[in-house]
Structure 1
């Protein structure tokens, strides 16, 4: 537990509570530590903190359209890496058909988010039907393959040398956000029994970023039973029931879905917008000084962004203030929208991310200019 230097003070003209009753004509910016879990200060500015006229260099906000990443490898271990660091690797896998081999990731747990399409996932533990909007957590070294009749687009997030856990839900209790009872696990059902065979089977394994292969004279997915509390789990975003407050805009940390040692994954799902006339009604300007922020947009209209559509991803390195676009801010101030319909996956990383070459051809070069007042 860090013993932060704590001395709550008020200087000048300021609101008494964060995100509520902002002084007239001001723009609030939160400067925070530890990804919204540490100490923070709300600054009140006379101008929007994103009101730059130019922005260049490695800290600039970036946006990419993953719909134009057209690689379709037959093996998820060869899916193009988009960005990463020592704690995580983010990949995009497009696939259609029936995998002709099995795979295992020995580098860490894998999280699959099915942005488009679905199918049948077979693994050591059994058979799991998957569909659009599903998260599937695969514990490290789980052997698996996918069959699908339609094209799938899967965001893959590896917890390198780590494991995924559920967030601590504190005062709201273990059943809040989603009840763990909705987590599904694979079944040793008829579909699993039918896929068993005695033919030669290839298993590809990733270890320390390198691929190796093992060949068996039979299908290793041959379990006759299992018991325990370690298994893949499936969660669909539709089973997430977000925390809400009509009088206070909750921080992204309130929407945490999965936790690893050096990053967290949050899910933004449709919800009513704050109705109290004194409450801020969209994400506040903030400087998250310790975490890089990645947002993958799954569906809906993104109420804090303009010109963003499903399948895009934005990247905001730590070290600069960011927040809603001017048009979105204006709409929110007028309370013209009463609820959101967006679904998005957020990855907040404690360590800086590297953007890999696969992203070069799909970048929206003018994204940093999108905060300029029109």
Structure 2
């Protein structure tokens, strides 16, 4: 039995109000003595109670049973999904990986998570985890929540049907889903299998960046973010001969508890702490119309701020289809070394700084002050191109998780069979062109 979604509400971080059964939302109060239809009132808070109003996030839920109702938790083992970012010294090498292989046996979204890298952790509430997922089975009788961080899910192959406590998100490649910390959900796979990327945000919640001199429009428009209407499941007991299972990620480990009902039983809710989806193809791309390639900050979709003004805990940046018209300019991304660290993925098409080797579903890691940039073939082509004509990049959707801290690869990522051991060879063809002047 699946929850039927009934559309979306527009806006990012808005105060929403929605009910799947008329009359379920209290009027003029949050916690009446008796909630309509015999429901329970429950608040879920994503920020401190005393956070400033502009950044305070919380929602009131009106549900069939409170979230406290489940059995005791016990540790479970999913050795590929974790927050162990200090297992080994971090090499300054550039690293790149082929797509994560699809599982050979039945594997749902949670079991299919594979930790690539990260920094910080949930105890300090700072940093990020970078994970891949590859799955070929629906979450059957199983529900998941991450108490450690907010989840930014970037599908690359196959659609995801995500049923959450607050409604349904349907996302496809070139869309993203944002699931708040602690919110319960399950994932089914309309196409039978799926693969993609997950950024686990341990720090401040993702927000839209300020636009500064860009003005009041551009980049990701708030109205293009979609939050679901209330949808609920009133379901008891067993699924395929077993009781429901609630899986929690808490302080870097997975825990399970028996639960005798579906926790996706919120009949109505109001507030600002809610899941949403966004179509990356709606991003309003900004670029130079005179000279030079601007900083990649102009491709910022969402960021998690840090305690230092202007410096992010995490930046989520995309490289979408766009026109390149700058004159007397090397148009692809330039060679650079960056105090920040960059984990890249490719959702669709080709990335304009790499001629080959970076496939959809693949990933690369360029850590702090490690040199990187276009490969030799891209450099040669761009250096010889006719700049009297614009370049248009149409078949692409790449992204980057960027962090102010070093992104530490896990041992399994460094030793993975799908890691490209010869990645650095892509720069070996860069020739010496310098000729010293004579006389």
- Report TM bin, short chain: 0.7 to 0.9
Offset of residue 174 of structure 1: 4.4
For the residues of structure 2 that align with 1:245 and 1:140, how far apart are their CA atoms? 37
Which stretch shifts more, 257-266 or 105-114?
257-266
Change (3 A) 1:143 1:116: same
1:162-181 map, 5 Å:
162-181=204-223
TM-score under structure 1 length normalisation: 0.78
The equivalent of 1:352 in structure 2 is 406
1:187-336 map, 5 Å:
187-188=229-230, 192-193=231-232, 195-199=233-237, 200-248=243-291, 249-260=293-304, 261=306, 262-273=313-324, 275-288=325-338, 290-307=339-356, 308-335=358-385
Task: Find the partner of 1:338 among 386, 391, 405.
Answer: 391
Computing the radius of gyration from Cα coordinates, the structure with the larger value is 2
**SS of 2:267 mapped into structure 1:** coil
Change (3 A) 1:131 1:276: closer
Residue ranges of structure 2 left out of the alignment (5+ in a row): 1-89, 121-126, 238-242, 307-312, 431-439
Offset of residue 70 of structure 1: 4.1
Offset of residue 279 of structure 1: 2.7
The equivalent of 1:152 in structure 2 is 194
Offset of residue 358 of structure 1: 3.1
For the residues of structure 2 that align with 1:353 and 1:69, how far apart are their CA atoms? 25
Q: Deviations over 1:23-67 (max 9, x none)?
A: xxxxxxxxxxxxxxxxxxxxxxxxxxxxxxxxxx92121111124
Q: Deviations over 1:121-177 (max 9, x none)?
A: 110111122212221111100100011232111211100244212211212234311
The equivalent of 1:74 in structure 2 is 108
For the residues of structure 1 that align with 2:381 and 2:331, how far apart are their CA atoms? 10
Alignment check: 8 A CA contact 1:296 1:312 kept: yes
Alignment check: 8 A CA contact 2:112 2:135 kept: no
Q: Please, what is the CA RMSD of the aligned residues?
A: 2.0
The equivalent of 2:167 in structure 1 is 126
Change (3 A) 1:70 1:269: same
Change (3 A) 1:335 1:247: farther
For the residues of structure 2 that align with 1:187 and 1:141, how far apart are their CA atoms? 19
Q: Deviations over 1:242-267 (max 9, x none)?
A: 11222231211111112123221101
**SS of 1:253 mapped into structure 2:** helix
The equivalent of 2:39 in structure 1 is none
Offset of residue 365 of structure 1: 1.1
